[in-house]
Chains A and B, each alone.
Chain A
């Protein structure tokens, strides 16, 4: 996808190139002319929304979790273990609901591989949670308070020798691996490969190789499922790239909520330094994943900067600067950060409207934030959307959902630059009530 003169292109030219490639995807053979046309309409509508124009129709791009499994009558456990059932369920969801963005089966994860590696950071159905319950994160200090310097000086080394041995039982022996950067000059080479002769380290690599084979099988299945949905229904992949706000990267994955909040008082300088180190890592992660998957969007779910987590002073010091740097880094590469602002952001909206962020370059999707305030602050500056509450699909009637969507579109969607979506990731929903969101979007979402 990247053109030969990539390095000499401006951010806006890169943006155009990425959209061009996404809208005319090489290697996708559409099953019918209708599918091709639907794909082009959908991608054009999304591009228009990003560019703050009025698209042909408002894009309808819900956040989807395990809903397709529940809808198709399979368990979450089956979705994670049986790729055939996964494909059946995910295809059925797209056929019956016709969303404007792909709900990738990738997100469900290959549980056989998690078992193989003895993954300890999550519980998943059949492995700590009931068969119908999606996977859940186990919060713990996967990095201890005295390991900041290790992380700051050598993130990959920290990952290899501390983090991975903690979260994967079979990689426990990697604690004993020397840093790869020890390998310099002839006399040291022999010594540096000695650990790879030790039985339990050899065993860990053998298991990893087997997991690698399983991963190829899995990605083949995923590619066929997602590719099939795109080719037959013309539904584009949108959330194809991924990275995180540096604070969340540290807080969710490494330190845990309570420890990182204590770090803000006990070792603020170390924390700030680590956040700085996480900036290029996350930009690189976002750029690589979006480029590999040939889509211009990078999905970024925001967690611990929401209203109520920390004071405005701490948000301005610990959360926002590194997040802003990642956003700018992605925009520089022609990518559109697709930011899922989970929880409420009523006290943070001004930050999102930062004049350093070029207009029409980010998508902000909201959960419980007051949408009229969003419209007032971000309208005409950045594309936004979201907000239809997940609980409404459990407790509301289709008519109530229709009313909600109609009202939302009238109040904040009328000027374009808007994406209709759910405020939360949907696992369980009454199908009729959920469908009403799509129907209302198609009925009232034309400009």
Chain B
């Protein structure tokens, strides 16, 4: 079952994947085992995305398949499940004044599929919410996204807010989005910038001491 399920998800055959997961669960397969297949499938999808074989439609469909399978598995999960070992925590959001979320969502997906625990604050996130959330969630990495050139100042203000809160040396800050580049990194005071989700993952890995 497990290989077939992985193949169906990776092959973007939604109906087949959901059907296989349901059959397996009904036949008494451990929900954790089904979810493990999903995890392997997501890893493979993420890899194909990095390699330029898969794009947004494939990431989005994978996300949909996962949601449906987790729904099916949820009811049957006996224990809360052993705490998964994660590489690290990343806090992410689109900055104040900007409501674009596609790029940010892709980054969150890729971080998650690469083993990070991701807290997504959504869009139009003011500096103080980034700081508050960081106090609670204690991320090693903060990711800020923007599509509008107008978001450069809110990015800069968010970096400053971390400084004022005395948290600046506890987090690495990365920024991304269509208009972001090296100059904008300098302007905002972020630690690094990335042009896409793949770069976001390698930055986060570098910072938490991963590969």
Interface residues of A (CB under 8 A from B): 123, 129-130, 132-134, 136-139, 257-258, 261-262, 264-266, 308-311, 314, 343, 367-368, 389-392, 394-396, 424, 426-428
Assembled-state Cα–Cα distance A427/B187 (Å)? 17
B1 at the interface (CB under 8 A from A): no
Stretch at the interface among B20-28, B49-57, B72-80, B130-138: B49-57
B55 in contact with A311 (CB, 8 Å): yes
B14 at the interface (CB under 8 A from A): yes
Q: Provide the residues of chain B in CB contact with A308, threshold 8 Å.
A: 55-56, 196
A424 in contact with B99 (CB, 8 Å): no
Assembled-state Cα–Cα distance A427/B196 (Å)? 24
Shortest CB-to-CB span from B80 to chain A, Å, is 29
B14 in contact with A133 (CB, 8 Å): no
B171 at the interface (CB under 8 A from A): no
Assembled-state Cα–Cα distance A265/B14 (Å)? 9
B53 in contact with A311 (CB, 8 Å): yes
Shortest CB-to-CB span from B69 to chain A, Å, is 16
Q: Provide the residues of chain A in CB contact with B149, threshold 8 Å.
A: 390-391, 394, 424, 426-428
Shortest CB-to-CB span from B90 to chain A, Å, is 21
Q: Provide the residues of chain B in CB contact with A265, threshold 8 Å.
A: 12, 14, 57, 61
B127 at the interface (CB under 8 A from A): no
Assembled-state Cα–Cα distance A137/B98 (Å)? 10
B187 in contact with A395 (CB, 8 Å): yes
Q: Provide the residues of chain A in CB contact with B178, threshold 8 Å.
A: 343, 367-368, 424
Q: Within the complex, which residue of A137, A368, A394, A424 is in contact with B152, where a contact is CB–CB below 8 Å?
A: A394
A-B contacts, 18 of them at CB < 8 A, read: A130-B97, A132-B150, A134-B148, A136-B98, A262-B60, A264-B57, A311-B58, A314-B57, A389-B181, A390-B179, A391-B149, A391-B180, A391-B183, A395-B183, A395-B186, A424-B149, A426-B149, A428-B150
Assembled-state Cα–Cα distance A121/B90 (Å)? 31
A257 in contact with B56 (CB, 8 Å): yes
**Chain A CB within 10 Å, residue with most, of B12, B100, B150, B186:** B150
A395 in contact with B184 (CB, 8 Å): yes
Determine the main DSSP class of A at the interface with B: loop
Assembled-state Cα–Cα distance A28/B61 (Å)? 54
Shortest CB-to-CB span from B46 to chain A, Å, is 15
In the complex, the number of residue pairs spanning A and B with C-beta atoms less than 8 Å apart equals 82
A427 in contact with B14 (CB, 8 Å): no
B102 at the interface (CB under 8 A from A): yes
Question: With A343-B178, A392-B183, A427-B150 in contact, do A309 and B97 touch (Cβ < 8 Å)?
Answer: no
Q: Within the complex, which residue of A136, A391, A427 is in contact with B184, where a contact is CB–CB below 8 Å?
A: A391
Q: Provide the residues of chain B in CB contact with A427, threshold 8 Å.
A: 148-150
Query: Chain B 1-25, CB within 8 Å of chain A: the 1/0 string?
Result: 0000000000010100000000000
Shortest CB-to-CB span from B104 to chain A, Å, is 12
Shortest CB-to-CB span from B183 to chain A, Å, is 4
Assembled-state Cα–Cα distance A427/B146 (Å)? 14
A133 in contact with B150 (CB, 8 Å): yes
Q: Within the complex, which residue of A130, A257, A391 is in contact with B181, where a contact is CB–CB below 8 Å?
A: A391
Nearest chain A residue, comparing its CB with the CB of B153: A428
Q: Provide the residues of chain B in CB contact with A368, threshold 8 Å.
A: 178
Q: Provide the residues of chain A in CB contact with B186, threshold 8 Å.
A: 395
3 tightest Cβ-Cβ pairs between the two chains A and B: A395-B183, A261-B57, A310-B55
Nearest chain A residue, comparing its CB with the CB of B54: A311
Shortest CB-to-CB span from B93 to chain A, Å, is 16
B202 at the interface (CB under 8 A from A): no
Q: Provide the residues of chain A in CB contact with B170, threshold 8 Å.
A: none
Assembled-state Cα–Cα distance A310/B102 (Å)? 13
Nearest chain B residue, comparing its CB with the CB of A133: B97
B99 in contact with A134 (CB, 8 Å): no
A310 in contact with B56 (CB, 8 Å): yes
Assembled-state Cα–Cα distance A90/B12 (Å)? 50
Assembled-state Cα–Cα distance A257/B14 (Å)? 19
**Chain B CB within 10 Å, residue with most, of A133, A266, A390, A427:** A133
Assembled-state Cα–Cα distance A183/B177 (Å)? 51
Question: With A394-B152, A427-B150 in contact, do A123 and B54 touch (Cβ < 8 Å)?
Answer: no
Assembled-state Cα–Cα distance A367/B149 (Å)? 13
B184 in contact with A262 (CB, 8 Å): no
Assembled-state Cα–Cα distance A139/B94 (Å)? 15
A261 in contact with B56 (CB, 8 Å): yes
Query: Chain B 33-66, CB within 8 Å of chain A: the 1/0 string?
Result: 0000000000000000000011111101100100
Q: Provide the residues of chain A in CB contact with B183, threshold 8 Å.
A: 391-392, 394-396
Assembled-state Cα–Cα distance A309/B148 (Å)? 18
B181 in contact with A258 (CB, 8 Å): no
Nearest chain B residue, comparing its CB with the CB of A123: B99
Q: Provide the residues of chain B in CB contact with A367, threshold 8 Å.
A: 178
Q: Provide the residues of chain B in CB contact with A391, threshold 8 Å.
A: 149, 152, 179-181, 183-184
Q: Within the complex, which residue of A257, A262, A389 is in contact with B102, where a contact is CB–CB below 8 Å?
A: A257
Shortest CB-to-CB span from A404 to chain B, Å, is 12
Q: Provide the residues of chain A in CB contact with B97, threshold 8 Å.
A: 129-130, 133
A261 in contact with B187 (CB, 8 Å): no
* Besides the known contacts A311-B58, A391-B149, A394-B184, 13 further A-B residue pairs in the complex with CB atoms under 8 A apart: A134-B148, A137-B99, A258-B60, A261-B60, A262-B57, A265-B61, A311-B55, A311-B57, A389-B181, A394-B152, A424-B178, A424-B179, A427-B149
